[in-house]
Amino acid sequence: MDFRTWYDNLIKPAWTPSPGTIGLIWQILYPIILISFGFVIYKSIRGGLPWLVALPFIINLIANILFMPIFGGMRNLPLSAVDIIIVLMTLVWMMVAVWPHYRWVAVVQVPYLVWVSIATMLQMTITLRNV
């Protein structure tokens, strides 16, 4: 069964955004992520930030990249729920960690935090309804 058929057959809440809306949200968020994460990693490499500040950014990026292979490729709802929780937790951690150094980096994560909070609730609901 292809991904779209599998996804369409999942029991989802009525407030589930359309795939087009989800895609649009990521088109807005990815440039924010690219610039802010790139800045933090660059500053860490150059010695302007401690590596412990960059660590949650790196973990978040890895977990974010792994979500679709876990959810759509493996079609593993429980593991994708764990993954999205890691994305959410590291997002909060990185905002707190970078705040004393570069507040603008923490502030520009707010739209990402809002979306990941919604996506986490959506994923948890889908997981509970389909496992």
Task: Write down the domain spans for the chain.
Answer: 33-130
d(CA 131, CA 129) in angstroms, rounded, equals: 6
- The residue ranges of the chain whose pLDDT is under 70 are none
Between CA 39 and CA 120, with CA 108 as vertex, the angle to 5 degrees is 110
Q: Would you state the pLDDT for residue 43?
A: 98
pTM: 0.95
Burial of 82 (0-12, 13-18, 19+ CB in 10 A): middle
Q: What is the pLDDT of residue 35?
A: 98
Q: Which helix (H) or strand (E) holds 96?
A: helix 77-98
Question: Which of 118, 120, 112 lies closest to 81, judged by CA?
Answer: 120
Q: What is the pLDDT of residues 53-78, one digit of tens each?
A: 999 999 999 999 999 999 999 999 99
pLDDT of residue 77: 98
What pLDDT does 125 receive? 98
